[in-house]
Every structure is written in structure tokens, then in C-alpha cells.
Chain A
Amino acid sequence: MSTNGSNLKSKTDSRKKAYTHQQCVEMDDFEDILEPRRNELDVRFALQSRDGVPEYKYTNKQTRSQVNESVLSSPRLKFTIDKIVTETGLSRKEVEKEAFEILDDMAHAQSLTNLRTLAYIFPKLYKRLLRHLYVNKDGIEKLRAQVKDAPVILLPTHRSYQDFLVMTYVCFHYGLPLPFVATGQDFNKMKLINEVLRMCGAFYIRRSFGTDDLYWALFTEYVQTNVINGELPLEFFLEGTRSRTGKFLPPKLGLLAVALEPYFTGKVPDILVVPVSFTYDRILEELLHSREMLGIPKPKESTSGLFKARTILQDNYGDIYVHVGDPISVREMASPRIDRSVHNTLPRFLFNLSSSEQKFVADLAYNVQESQLRNIYMSVWVLCATLLMQRPHGYTLRDFCRDVEWLKDLAINLGAKVAWPGEYSVQTLVTSHLKRHRTFVNLAHKNQVSINAYEGSPLPPTGSMEMNSLDEVMSLAVVPMGIAMYRNHLVCRLANVCLLTSSFCGTNAISIGDLFLKFWFLIRVFQKEFVFKPSVTETEFAATLKKLESCTFIQVCNTEKKVEVLSNGMKAMSFLSKMVEPFLQGYYMVCQYLVQTKWNPDNDNKSKSIAKNIQALIAQKFMNDEMKHFDTLSLNLIGNALTSLVAMDYIQCNKSENGGSLSWQASKVEEVMAKLGSYLPKLEINGGAVQTHRTRREPMSVTSKL
């Protein structure tokens, strides 16, 4: 055992060396925190001393029941209960009892004993499931150095159920305080598991609690008491829920606002907000997500469901990268612009944020997402997925490897971080990643790379590639949808660049003014899709232009105010614009539906129903062989398109209690449809069925063509 161990160690040592020398790993000093687990007894890890754990200097240590007690006896609760008693005529006792029960159901019960038990089990699982669990050590050290200064909020990206456990594991490994984590109430319905998670630090909150004053007061007071106590970092997901698409979801600001209010009302000297980015080679729930995007309902979270999913334990999930970003000091960011004295004339138990503070919270959220995005590592598989989406069939392995390497260099040049272990040959890397994703990729033919028609199989369940029904379209869409999710990591990272290349609309020269207008339109259309800061402006445009120029893809001629595509950039520019083509196509289809279907007030105009109808229309196009991008079927994409059309005032949404209902005028939608159409290759707009058909079956290799 020990010799085996040392062998492994020397092997990984050399790997680490190779790693840090790779340009693509940039300055981040990653280390594999599973490596010591492979050499030491897990029990020693689980029982490690937690003496040196850094502590917030004004920490106020309270037990669970002390926290709950101080929440229940707080002026905020007293005020709210008084109000409820007066308004509803319920007895104080009843309301207090309800408050007690809600809080008891909400509050975490982090216990070190429980965590130590898990710290014994988890390395065993991870060692089997994962190759490496990389963490950027410098990020951890920066965090450790600042923990004493202020309460901490950890804000990781949310792509998988695992995120919460991985984060806690990382904190345990590094002897950092273990976070308490906002978790959706749906998890609280899973028997046993809910209590295990609770003991890990999970606290449960409802997804929405609109006008429930008592719940709102309890939730606010509970979160703030814990933040002010500063004993454990607060962890939650800005996106509110797992992103099923590999893209970012617009940040949800409610919890962040609640967590930051203690700074604005002077209850803490500062708050440190720490963006964390997770990158998975393979996401546990990939198929679930893919089906969900197509509208195949997700199973309810249940404990038995989890055990059924235990087959996942026999698979390999490759590497996880955890990047802990630079802590953002709320005080530093807020001090020049926020006047906290506006709170002086209100008692502090009334929740109150000024409009400039609300704006600040939103800005902070976008800054955090920007940092998360910047530090997401593109796995080799993401590169593979991006290529496969553009050319699903007929790749030879040699060509494929060559293109993967090309795309890696392109991504790095454009500023993305790529996880590219330097000591392996491209072929070894690529095949190992393809094998890991054999659900999606067909490896039956040696030296040939193509995607499966159906999960794990090159053939669909019906045995035929013909699509005659909605169900058949959907079942054939599962795999492309899954791959698209990985491609979206890169699309999201390079969204500015992709949209700028699209803005050339296939031409090789364009005036700067036109290019900006084209770009600006796309930015607004895709506001929801790629989560742009509301303040994206000319500077963003100039910076993106500069980026392409420095890659010598384009030449900016300032005297003529013109931009030209250089021959050096043809291939890349075309490839990048094709990365967002499915989105343009999808939005275009949404408009087409709205133009074709006259608005009728008697129809069911709820946006959910309309999205379903649009999806059916697109599915029809597949049956007619007029469409090639399966990811246009995504309900997420369709929903985003509708939201964006509402935001841009092309269609109207009338809010009502059970979701908004839409209304529109075909003429207005035609306007935006024409604009979108100008970005798409002509043949596809004119609905040339034969030509599109051909494009799908005999794809032209972008890379070989250029």
C-alpha cells in the first residue's frame, strides 16, 4: 500500500509540475486536494484538528438554540407579530408558535461530528468518482488572510447538486470556517437527506414567499443574525437555482440584499463577498438537465430517487476545478457612492434599502458573476462539444484533435482559461474525454468521431432517424441538447466576441458605426441569454474590437472608420459567429411564430403555453427537415427570447397572479424578426428546405473549408 502510494505521489508530482508550466493555467496555482487522500488514511483526514481555523475578529459564537432565540425575540419579529396579531386577529401565542415552527424548520444545525463522518465518507467517493479535485491555493490563502476582517459570503456558480458539498469539502480540507448554506425548500422534503444536509450547514428557504410577512421577517432576521455573528460564512447561489444550460442565469438579488443590509445599517464593519467558480469535466445531472430543457418534467427530489441514481457511482467524472476568486470588500466598493446615513431616521429592525443601495446590490451581483465567469476553466470536453455542435458527423479523430488544439489556442487568445494538462498528447486527452462522455459520443468506429443519435447509442430507440412525431424529435434532441450545455460554457465566456463576429453578418468589411449598431442590438436582444451587465456600453465594444484586432483577425482602419476581416481571421471569425447561430435561429423562430399566429385575446396567452407552442412549431420544422440546430428546442431559450422581446417592448406582458400573459402585434414583431434575420445566412431564412436538409446531412467542415 505504501509503495503504491509513493509511486502515485511521484507521478502526480510530476504532473503538477507540468501543469503549472502550462500557459493555459495562467497564474492560478492549482493543487489537487484529493492527492493526499490517496496516500493517507481517510480517518486521519476526518479527525484532523480544527484549532487553527481563522475567525472573524468580532465573531459572536451562538449555538443553534441561542440564534433561534435571539431571532424570535428580536425587535423585527416583535414588530411583525404585533402587526399580524392586529391584522388577522390571531392570538399572539398562535403566531409565536408558527414562527417557532417555521424557524425550526429553516435553521441549520451544523455539527462538526456529522461533518467529520462525511469527511470520512466523501474522500472515498471522490477518489472513485473523480480523477482530481483542483483548488487554486492562492485564492484560498487570500480568503484565509481576510476571514478575520469581516463576515464572509461565499457565492459559487451553480451547475450541479454537488456544488454545496464540494464547497464544504474544500473548506474542511483547508481548515477554513465551514459555511452555512441557503438551500431550496424542496430538499427539505427528502427524508433523512434533509437532516444530513442540515447538519452540514444547510438551512432551508422557500423559493418564493411574496407577501408572507412572518416568513419574510424570520428569514431576514435569521440570515442577518448569522451574518452579523460572523462565525460561519454564508453560502448561497446567486443564480438561485442550478443553471441547466451551462450559461449563467440572471442573478437573484433578494437574498444578497438581505445579507448585505447589515452593512448598510452599520451592524458589521464590512462584508467580504467571494465569487467561486466550479468547473466539472462532467456534470452528474447532464441528462436530467437536457431533458428538462426540452420540457420533459424533472423528477421531484426524493431520497429514493437519489438511491436509484446510485449507478452514477460506477462512472468516472474526471476533474473538478474550484477557483476561489478575490474577495470583494463591500465597504471598499460602496464607500464612495453609498450614503448609509439614510437609515438613521428609521429603526434598524425595519428592512430598508435605498434605491442607490438596491442598484449597488445589483452591480455587486454582476461583478461577482463577471469574476465567476472569468475564472471558469474550459475543460477539453467543452472544446470538443463546441466543435461537435458545429460538425456532429464525419470527423476523423486526427482532424478532430487538430481542431481541438486550434480551438484551445483560440480560446486562450481570446482570454478564456483552459484546463489543458500539458503532459499528455492531444490524442490521449481528447480520447479520454470522449470516452468519459460516451453517453453523447459514438466511439464505435475507430478514428471516427460523431455524436450519438440517442443517449449511449448511435441509433434512436425507434431504430429510425426519421422524425415523424413531436416525441421522436424530442428524444433525438436529448443528446445535442446535452452537448450544447457544455458548449455553452465557452459561448458564455466568449459571448461578446461571438456577438461581435456575428455582427459582421457574413461580410468582410463594415463601417465601425454599423458594426456598433449591429453589436448593440445583439447585446440587448441577448441580455437575458448571456447575462450582460445592464451597463454594457461602447467601452465594451471597443475592448472586444481590440481583442480581435490583437489576434490579427481584423484590421481597424480609423481614418476610414472601417473594420476589415483579415484572411488570418476568416476561420476563427466564422467559427465564433457560428457558435451563437443557434441562438439567433431560435429567437428568429420565436418571432416567426408570433408573426404567423395572430394574437387572439381568447387564446391561452400565458408565456409558458406560448413557449410550448413555439417549441412545437420548431419541432415541426425538424419533421419537415427545415431546421438543424436542436438546441433551438430549449424552453429556456424560447423563454428568454420572449422575456427579451418584452424588455425591448416589441411585445407586451400583462402580469397577473398566475404568470404573465402576452400580447403582441405582428407588424412590430416583423420588425425585430427582420433585424434578426439579417444576421443569419440567407439560405436559412428563406426556408430553403432542400438546402438546409443538405447542410445537416452533409455538413461542411468549417475548419477544413477555411
Chain B
Amino acid sequence: MSSHRRLEAILGHCNETSFQRRSTLSGGSVKQEICQGGNSDSDGRSSTGVRRVEGNERDGPRIPKRRQESLKWNGWGFRDSKFEFDAEGSGMFKGDRYLLSGMLPNLRSFAESIEGFKVNDKLQGQGEIPSESLPKPVTNEGFFKEIRQSGMSFSLDGQDRLFRAHGHTLQEIFILRMGRFDRIPDIVIWPECHDDVVKLVEAADRHNVCMIPFGGGTSVTNGLECPKEETRMIVSLDMSQMNKVLWVDEKNMTAHIEAGIVGIDLEEKLGKYGLCTGHEPDSCEFSSLGGWVATRASGMKKNVYGNIEDMLVHVKMVTPKGVMEKNCQVPRMSTGPDIHHLILGSEGILGVITEVTLRVRPIPPCRRYGSVVFYNFDDGVDFMREVAKQRCAPASIRLMDNAQFKFGISLRPPPSSMWASLGDSFKKFYLTKLKGYDVDQLAILTLLFEGTAEEVAAQEKRVYKIASQFRGLAGGEENGQRGYMLTFAIAYLRDLALDHHCIAESFETTVPWDRVHDLCRNVKERIRQECKNHGVKNEPYLTCRVTQLYDTGACIYFYFGFFYKGLPNPVHSYESIENAARDEIIAHGGSLSHHHGVGKIRKKWMRSTISDTGYETLQSVKNSLDPNNVFGNKNLL
């Protein structure tokens, strides 16, 4: 029973009613709804409205304009959801939004396995920053006058501005908890349609103000940070009200959508047509369609649905020089360099993405999880390489290293009965004693299959057969599900870590197959060394997983944390350790980023990444599209 709930929690948390676990699910239960633009309730909704959505009762964005009412002002996710240790030191996840909920008996021992971590040693961060102590807004009178006349929704409120001054980069969260931002947006404006944006960009260019588009606020590259030295008025363009599916074309399998929609809403709305995009980045509860395009996002099911660039059929970007778009909606064209590829990954320096046509797919009738236990990480990598070679990867396939496997265990709920706990110890006995697996070596692979029941069954058969050639043992559905649960849990977990003097952050890369082993090992090794060099006394927590596979390489995702108490400047130490790690990644043939983007924290590597000539090319595109630097967030270049 609990496994059923958890399943829903992982993917189902975006639309609990339309997905059903059994392969008997049919499209028949999907309600039809015609979605038309222009009738949304721009006031948004209170935080209590977020959880359960029925039918077409709600059409507006599930996160209100005053985001801080529903979301944490200084951490990840919803206000009512978080990890915590109670007075006795027992771990739990609060709130019932997710199916991970309640007591987590293994969490404490996991946390305490991080050197230095003490359950009772809690750090008191600062309380909410009073609006008086926030930077006073800079006002451009001409521009402001036009805004007021236009009747567009805007806010000068300090907390509204503060919320849009940051994403979720470690440095930014640290400032929220311990410090002050030097610069925050001066005004927040909520456009409601493409034409609003055109007017705003035109006015901004005319009045010389700086404009920073804001989608879901989940950037982890300091992409939303306001440049300190910006003296012009900074407008935060909050796209959240542009969340409508404007039309769905079932013949051509496309949907035309406003760019401010967040992933969870998008899937819910398309679900009513029995369709989906299949784009599921880990942040899909909060991140927006425009943000995905602007950062070249990747979803965990890209093996079936593709990455954002694969599903993008058409896009409009409003620049100071006008709207950039194609004149047709076709699967492919040969018309010189693809302008979509200037828009994809532009990180808000060229213009605002307003409307997107995406390829859509029917919701698959059958979805099943799975897992494989490998003798060690290297075997798992070799297995994934083979799967990539045979091109038989299921919707999602992820390999977690030993440390992450252990972390997964820490999120197990209390055993439901004596039998369950007995069953667990029997499984452990079977694996370690009878099969000779070493608990400190083994790695776990999680799988998600989608398709018709027959397709899923055939895929399963093939994948498990290859696994057995690499000493892999099928580990059951439940372990697979738990693996995917880590995805959203880890983001919440960082707040718990920060509460206990631990810094934690993730970073990612892509790397050719032949270098995957070496990169994973040597980057961890380099981090350990750099921690020592920076006087980090305790052994850092290091883990990685292979999250995506391609014909020629894989995406690697690292998590890294350490107990920093006693360090004079932990954020600074963290930054230089992460920089060293990135140097090590690049030295091993890894990319600067697979899907997080460059933002400001990785700018210094841009030139060497794309060559001087490539860099100058991008620079000249920027100069010609935006000569007055309206889009002055200083990302990328």
C-alpha cells in the first residue's frame, strides 16, 4: 500500500488523479477541457489551494503573486514541507504534500555519518529581513509612469522584490540566511500576455532600464542575481501569470503554451487532453517553461521524450530589436543556422521568451519502476554504456553510487510490520552473504519504464538481461521508486544541512563514456584534497550519480557537502572548492554544464569552452539584439 502512495508522490505529485499505477490505466478517464487564454484570475491563489486540484476548478497559477506566502522565503519549496529533527533527535519530513512524510528512523544515523554533524547543534539563521533594511528602489520616472498608465500588475513591496533577487544557488541561500543582498530588483511586474511583454521591453529600451526575466526562480547558477554595479532601475519581469495553454493541435501533436507556466501545471493541463510533454526536470514543481528554454533544460525522461531542444517546435522571444521567431511550425528545416539555438540557453541576456510550441505525446498507459543492484559503481557504468550502445534505455535510467544508495536507505519509513523488517534483513542477508555483495561497494540503478504494457514488459526483459551480464541483480520496484523520491527530497535536505552548519550543493556535467569512471573518481578525490587545503577538518560528504545516458556519453550529477563550523568564510571556501572541482571536470573532458547553465558562477570558463571566436560570435549577437543592454543580468558572457 505504501509503495502505491510513494509512487504517486514521485511523479504523481504533479497530478495525483490522472496517473494511475497499474498498467491497466487507460486514457478514458482523462477529462477534456478546452483551455482558452485571457480569462485567468490574476490574483492567484492562497497557498492552501496548491495541493489538490480537481477538474477545471482552477486555472490560474498555483503559486501566488506573493510567492513568499506559499514558498519558503529562505529555502527550497513549500513553507509547510521540510526535514526536521524533533526534540528527541528523531528525523522526519513534515507536511503531507509529498508522500514522503512522517518519521524517518534512519535519517539521524545517516546525518551523523557526516563528520561533525550533530542533531542538537542547530544554527539560528536570521529571521525575515524587514523591508526597511532592504535596498531602496531606484525609480526611472518615465518608465514607471508608463507602467502605471498601462494598468499592468506591479509591486514595489520589499518582500516581493527580495524574493526575485535570487535563485537557489548556495551563495544566494546563504545570503538570505546570514546576510544582505547589495542589489535587488526595484520593481516586480506581472505581464499577462505576449503583447504586454512587447510593450514592456520596448518601454524598457526607451527609458534605459534593466530587465531581468523571472520564471520559477529555481536557477542554481546565480542567474537571477542582480549585478551589484547596476545603477539603472531593475525590473523583475515575473512571467508566472502567463501560464495558459493557448491551443492544442492533436493532429500535429503540438501545444502552444505561454512561457510562464510551471511544469506541474503544464502536465496537469495537457493531461486533460490525454497528452503530456514528458519533460520532467527535478524542479518541475517550480520551474517554468520559459526557464527551461532559456537554460537548455533536461528532463529525467529524455530517453523517450527528448530534452527541451528536441521538443521545441516554435518559440517567440521578445528582444529590444523586435520579436524573433520562425514563420512555420515544422519538425525540421534547413535554413541556415537555427535561430532556436540562439534562444535556447540564452539565459535572459537577449530577450524574454513569451510563447512556446512544444511537441506533445499521449500519456503512456503503463509506467513501471525497477532497480538493479550492482557489485560496484564501475560495473554499473559499464552496464549503462552497454544500454546506450544497444539504444534500449527506458524513459529514465539512473545509477547511484554507494554513498547515495546509503542516503536512499535513510529515507525509508519505519517498517510497517515485523514481517517487513524481517524481509529487509533477509534481503540484505541474501545480497551480502549469499551473493557476496559488499554493502560498502554496491551501487544501485533505478529505472522507469513507460509505454504500453507489452512495450514495458519487453523493455524490462531486455534491460534486466543486459544487467545480468554485468553482475547486476534486479532489486525490485520499491527501490526504484525510492530512488526517484531522492530527486525532490535532496533539494529540501539542503535546508536541513544548512540548519546544522553544513554546506551542501550539487553540480553536474556531461562526459564521454571512456572518461566516466575517471571523472567520477578524480573529481571526488580533488574535492577531498581541496577541502583539506581549505582547512575543512571533517571528511566531506561526496556522492554522484549518472543521470542521463547518450550514445556518446553520460550526464553526471554530483552532490557535495561538508561540515563547515569553524571556517572563517565557509561560502568562500565552498566557492573555491567548487571551482577546483569544475577545473577537474574540465580537465577530464567534462562539459561546463549539462543542464544547469552558466549563469554567473561559471562565466569564467565560457571563453575557453567555446573558443574565442565562438565567444565573440555570441557577444556580437548580444550587442546587435540588445545594444542598450536592457537584459543586463550579466549571465553567460
Do A269 and B525 touch (CB < 8 A)? yes
B113 within 8 A of A: no
Instruction: Tell me what chain A mostly uses at the interface: helix, strand, loop, or mixed.
Output: loop
A270 within 8 A of B: yes
Do A58 and B589 touch (CB < 8 A)? no
Do A343 and B589 touch (CB < 8 A)? yes
Do A267 and B518 touch (CB < 8 A)? yes
Do A344 and B589 touch (CB < 8 A)? yes
Chain A's nearest CB lies how many Å from the CB of B495? 32
Chain A residues whose CB sits within 8 angstroms of the CB of B583 once the complex forms: 335
Which residue of B514, B521, B526, B587 is within 8 Å of A58 (Cβ)?
A: B521
B607 within 8 A of A: no
Chain B's nearest CB lies how many Å from the CB of A331? 8
Do A341 and B586 touch (CB < 8 A)? yes
Complex Cα distance, B608 from A343, in Å, reads: 14
Number of residues of chain A lying within 8 A (CB) of chain B = 15
Complex Cα distance, B514 from A270, in Å, reads: 18
Complex Cα distance, B211 from A157, in Å, reads: 66
Do A266 and B526 touch (CB < 8 A)? no
Contact flag A266-B519 (CB < 8 Å), given A340-B587, A341-B587 = yes
A266, A269, A340 — which one has the most chain B CB atoms within 10 A of its CB? A266
Chain B's nearest CB lies how many Å from the CB of A418? 37
Do A341 and B589 touch (CB < 8 A)? yes
In A332-346, which residues have CB < 8 Å from any B CB? 335, 339-341, 343-344
Do A269 and B526 touch (CB < 8 A)? yes
Complex Cα distance, B586 from A339, in Å, reads: 9
Complex Cα distance, B376 from A58, in Å, reads: 13
B514, B526, B587, B608 — which one has the most chain A CB atoms within 10 A of its CB? B587
Complex Cα distance, B527 from A269, in Å, reads: 11
A335, A339, A343, A344 — which one has the most chain B CB atoms within 10 A of its CB? A344
Complex Cα distance, B588 from A331, in Å, reads: 13
**Taking CB as reference atom, which chain A residue is nearest B584?**
A266
In A493-528, which residues have CB < 8 Å from any B CB? none
Chain A residues whose CB sits within 8 angstroms of the CB of B521 once the complex forms: 58, 269
Complex Cα distance, B519 from A58, in Å, reads: 13
Number of residues of chain B lying within 8 A (CB) of chain A = 15
Chain B residues whose CB sits within 8 angstroms of the CB of A266 once the complex forms: 515, 518-519, 522, 587-589
Quick one: CB contact mask for B488-519 with A, threshold 8 Å, 1 for yes? 00000000000000000000000000110011
Complex Cα distance, B521 from A369, in Å, reads: 32
Chain B residues whose CB sits within 8 angstroms of the CB of A344 once the complex forms: 586, 589
Complex Cα distance, B353 from A674, in Å, reads: 80
Do B514 and A348 touch (CB < 8 A)? yes
Quick one: CB contact mask for A96-108 with B, threshold 8 Å, 1 for yes? 0000000000000
Complex Cα distance, B528 from A331, in Å, reads: 13
Complex Cα distance, B331 from A49, in Å, reads: 70
Chain A residues whose CB sits within 8 angstroms of the CB of B589 once the complex forms: 266, 341, 343-344
Chain B's nearest CB lies how many Å from the CB of A516? 39
In A250-304, which residues have CB < 8 Å from any B CB? 266-270
Quick one: CB contact mask for A33-63 with B, threshold 8 Å, 1 for yes? 0000000000000000000000000100000
Do A269 and B514 touch (CB < 8 A)? no
Complex Cα distance, B525 from A270, in Å, reads: 9
In B579-595, which residues have CB < 8 Å from any A CB? 583, 586-589
Chain A's nearest CB lies how many Å from the CB of B406? 19
Chain B residues whose CB sits within 8 angstroms of the CB of A270 once the complex forms: 525
Complex Cα distance, B525 from A432, in Å, reads: 53
**Taking CB as reference atom, which chain A residue is nearest B523?**
A269
Chain A's nearest CB lies how many Å from the CB of B534? 14
In B517-560, which residues have CB < 8 Å from any A CB? 518-519, 521-522, 525-526, 529
List 30 A-B residue pairs with CB atoms under 8 Å apart, sorted by A's residue number. Answer: A58-B521, A266-B515, A266-B518, A266-B519, A266-B522, A266-B588, A266-B589, A267-B518, A268-B518, A268-B522, A269-B521, A269-B522, A269-B525, A269-B526, A270-B525, A331-B526, A331-B529, A335-B583, A339-B587, A340-B587, A340-B588, A341-B586, A341-B587, A341-B589, A341-B608, A344-B586, A344-B589, A347-B514, A348-B514, A348-B515
Q: A266-B588, A339-B587 are in contact. List 9 more A-B contacts (CB 8 A).
A: A266-B515, A266-B519, A266-B522, A269-B522, A269-B526, A331-B529, A341-B589, A343-B589, A344-B586
